[in-house]
Amino acid sequence: MWRHGDVFLQAVESLPDGVRKLPHVTLARGESTGHCHRIKERGVAELFTAPSSTTGGGDLFLKVTGEKATLVHEEHGPIELKPGLYRSWIQREYSPEAIRRVID
């Protein structure tokens, strides 16, 4: 498992049913800074979203197809990912009002 700020990644064996390929490889956009958790290289990865009923909502799946893919963000060190499939989700926190996503 990897942590990149408020973004978590975990290696998985397969994609869940009903995923949809996204036209980008941005795992999360920074709400306060505008900085993005994204794959640096072009053409080495694909990003998929799963129906919320499958994963509970908000999970993405990253398929690294190149020799490596570098996850970058202006406020965190890069993480090199090997070829494979990864589930990605945003850290959540509890407050008395609701469980909410952590804002990076």
Q: What is the pTM of this model?
A: 0.80
Give the β-pairing of 26-29 and 36-39: antiparallel
User: Total domain count for the chain?
Assistant: 1
Domain residues for 66?
2-101
pLDDT digits (tens, 9 = 90+) for 37-69: 889 999 999 999 988 755 556 689 999 999 999
Helix, strand, coil tally for the chain in percent (to 5): 5, 50, 45
Of all helices (H) and strands (E), which one includes residue 87? strand 84-90
